[in-house]
A and B are shown apart, each in its own frame.
Chain A
């Protein structure tokens, strides 16, 4: 069947449904640029608070830099999660997705991918600059980038479960962090351990493999959990 006849029959292929949802979310985000930039600014500001609070000695900063960057990344992701399904829930488009013939998996996957493109990717792009400011040793840069590249999607996937569970609750923000932060701890532990190991010029394949396993596990399982949670929240 061609695309045209598909469209005529009112049925989208899975790929089309995925791309349309992704594009729609990106367009909406680009029209509200402040919402997109605020988590990134939050990330940068939190990181600048640490040298001011702890003291500007390069040795101290280099030692705690992986932890600071990763904790700030967790908090910045958390800040942006609240609006992942909120607008769609309030204007009813979430219900349209739930009753559409395409599997819910496709829509949730597309929405989570859009969320990562809008929050995870900017963090990764700005991270090397902040690592320089924190005097991170040169040999851990690749580890930092690789852990962020594999780890931030995991944050989006797991966070989406929490966002979907709390979307029906009026003041779900604090509850969201209570639910999601404990589930983020494994990523944090292995990512910072990988960067620490890299700063000693030791191989960090093991930690990276575990983060990759978390990535593939959450990629395949989280959209199902998000779909189930959305069905509960919209009743």
Chain B
């Protein structure tokens, strides 16, 4: 497997691979989100208790799940950058952090909008809500630390350590509704076993969930490419890419640096 992955440690190969998979993520997210959201918002049956305001579920739950998954993905990238010194993993961690932060903010805002008609309040200091808010602060701390260093390599390592320390919050969010008896309702959708909802409500949810997932993947591809380009801006292949000139004079002199990767 390492042999298969090895070429992708080269930023140029990774860049072009990302370029290839990017349109597929974009296409999938457009298809899934347009069908899923239309089905969810217009045709799915209203909930017997919550009526139509239940439909915010289709945005709230995918973004909440993604906020946690993206944090875990970022932490795994940070770990592989710290332990195995994979330099591109830094770029992907840096690419993922703001996306995760935005999804956390979406989950919090849609949660507040859903809480007003259901609980009669925009915000309660409930375990699930508070731990999700802490997740947002953790994301912002990681991003702030990343921006505080001039040296991108140091920034990646420092932010990586912080994101690994913050992983402790993820199980707390995940199990908060089970550990504490709080206002937030229990898990509706579980990976294993039957969901506790009707199939005609569940299918649009799946479409929305994978749609948002592909959207996150699409944005992650764009951000990753930008990170790779900005970190390799002195490399000949980037210059060739930008100018479109294959016979630039610097190419021959810098050929060795290019072969060295990173």
Q: Which residues from chain A sit less than 8 Å from chain B, CB to CB?
A: 158, 161-162, 165-166, 168-169, 172, 175, 178-179, 181-183, 185-186, 189, 225, 228-229, 232-233, 235
Contact = CB atoms under 8 A, between A and B. Distances in A.
A183 B166 contact: yes
A165 B161 contact: yes
Contact of A179 (B134, B145, B151): B145
A161 B166 CA distance: 11
Contacts of A158: 165
> Which 8 A/B pairs are nearest by Cβ-Cβ distance?
A182-B137, A232-B157, A179-B141, A165-B158, A182-B134, A169-B148, A232-B158, A178-B141
Contacts of B82: 228
A175 B158 contact: no
Contacts of A179: 141, 144-145, 162
15 contacts: A158-B165, A161-B165, A165-B161, A165-B162, A166-B148, A168-B154, A169-B149, A175-B144, A179-B145, A182-B137, A189-B130, A225-B165, A232-B157, A232-B158, A235-B151
Given A165-B145, A165-B162, A232-B161, A178 B140 contact: yes
Given A172-B148, A175-B148, A181-B137, A235 B154 contact: yes
A161 B172 CA distance: 20
Interface string B131-163: 000100110110011001101001001100110
Contacts of B134: 182, 185
Given A165-B158, A166-B148, A185-B134, 19 more contacts: A161-B161, A168-B149, A175-B148, A178-B140, A178-B141, A178-B144, A179-B144, A181-B137, A182-B138, A182-B141, A183-B165, A185-B130, A189-B130, A225-B161, A225-B165, A228-B161, A229-B161, A232-B154, A232-B158
Contacts of A183: 138, 165-166
Nearest to A182: B137
A186 to B, nearest CB: 8
B146 to A, nearest CB: 11
Contacts of B141: 178-179, 182
Contacts of B148: 166, 169, 172, 175
Contacts of B130: 185, 189
Summarize A's interface: helix, strand, loop or mixed.
Answer: helix
Nearest to B147: A175
Nearest to B150: A169
B166 A229 contact: no
A30 B200 CA distance: 70
A183 to B, nearest CB: 7
A184 B154 CA distance: 25
Contacts of A175: 144-145, 148
Nearest to A228: B161
Contacts of A165: 145, 158, 161-162
Contacts of A181: 137
Contacts of B149: 168-169
Contacts of B144: 175, 178-179
A228 to B, nearest CB: 6
A178 B148 CA distance: 12
Contacts of A172: 148
- By CB atoms of chain B within 10 A, which of A158, A161, A178, A235 has the most? A178
Contacts of A189: 130
B154 to A, nearest CB: 6
Interface in B164-200: 164-166, 172
Nearest to A162: B162
A178 B146 CA distance: 13
Nearest to A231: B157
B199 to A, nearest CB: 39
A178 B134 CA distance: 11
- By CB atoms of chain A within 10 A, which of B151, B157, B165, B166 has the most? B165
- By CB atoms of chain B within 10 A, which of A162, A186, A232 has the most? A232
Interface string B98-133: 000000000000000000000000000000001000
A233 B149 CA distance: 10
Contacts of A185: 130, 134
Contacts of B165: 158, 161, 183, 225
A185 B144 CA distance: 19
Contacts of B162: 161-162, 165, 179
A181 B140 CA distance: 12
A182 B161 CA distance: 15
Contacts of A225: 161, 164-165
A183 B162 CA distance: 10
